Amino acid sequence: MTDEILQQQIEYYRARANEYDQWFYRIGRYDRGEETNQRWFNEVAIVKSALYQVGAVDDILELASGTGIWTQELLNIGKKITAIDASEEVLAINRSKLASPSVKYYLFDLFKWQPDTEYDLVFFAFWLSHVPPQLLDSFLTKVYQSVRVGGQVFIIDSRFEPTSTAKNHILEDDGNIYKSRKLNNGQEFQIVKIFYQPDELQEKLKKVGFQADTKVTDNYFIYVHGKKI
Ligand code: SAM
């Protein structure tokens, strides 16, 4: 069951590539009105400023990099970025938006990924919530292995908040990790989506070896700044 959904999850992001940014920039189905949108952008600004606390580094690994919303921020922090994603469509958008020789792109399924390099910073946004629980420990262990001693990890993800998603998505905190997602044309996919509580995430990162500081914004985001000591 999960394998099939993980494949659908890849297909969903491939098909959604051209409309993905509408979610982040609150356009179309994701436009929740001026006040709510402003709340979102204010919270994005809080998370960005926390990310900049990482300071200047040389090598960054960005997992599930998507269309470059965060890759463009990482370019201000690191000298070199390795960006991995399983959708060639999002990587093409990322590449054409940033047009930077400092970013190297790799088309790869993260559930088949075996780390072989250590980085100063490993970053992933809105990815952890798509990792099924039975694969979480092994995924986080790989993240730990890909951070050098003294290096950092930064994670951003969604909190459970109905206005975070499209108007025609029903967001239920019902314990079901499989959720339905629609494209603008109504095509529907099943994906994995898990909303973590800060304590729970903090504990999981501690278990794999990170010293982590997990925070939330008022409504939309959970974020972690961790270190490998
Ligand atoms: N990090 C980006 C951002 O915040 O804008 C994109 C986040 S998006 C919610 C999830 C990303 O995970 C998509 O770009 C999708 O293509 C990618 N993805 C889905 N399944 C994957 C897999 N098995 N391996 C690698 N990337 C995957």
CATH class of 2-227: alpha beta
> Distance from the CA of 92 to the center of ligand 1, in angstroms?
13
- Give the pLDDT score at 1: 65
- Give the pLDDT score at 174: 82
- Beta-carbon count within 10 A of 20 CB: 18
Q: Which amino acid is at 181?
A: R
- The list of the chain residues with pLDDT below 70 reads 1
Residue 111, classed as helix, strand or coil, is coil
> Distance from the CA of 25 to the center of ligand 1, in angstroms?
17
Cα 174 from chain centre: 22
Burial label for 152, CB within 10 Å (0-12, 13-18, 19+), is buried
| Domain extent listing, the chain | 2-227
| Global confidence as pTM | 0.97
Substitution site in 5, 130, 158 for ligand 1 pocket (most atoms within 8 Å of beta carbon): 130
pLDDT 10s digits, 65-91: 999 999 999 999 999 999 999 999 999
- Give the pLDDT score at 130: 98
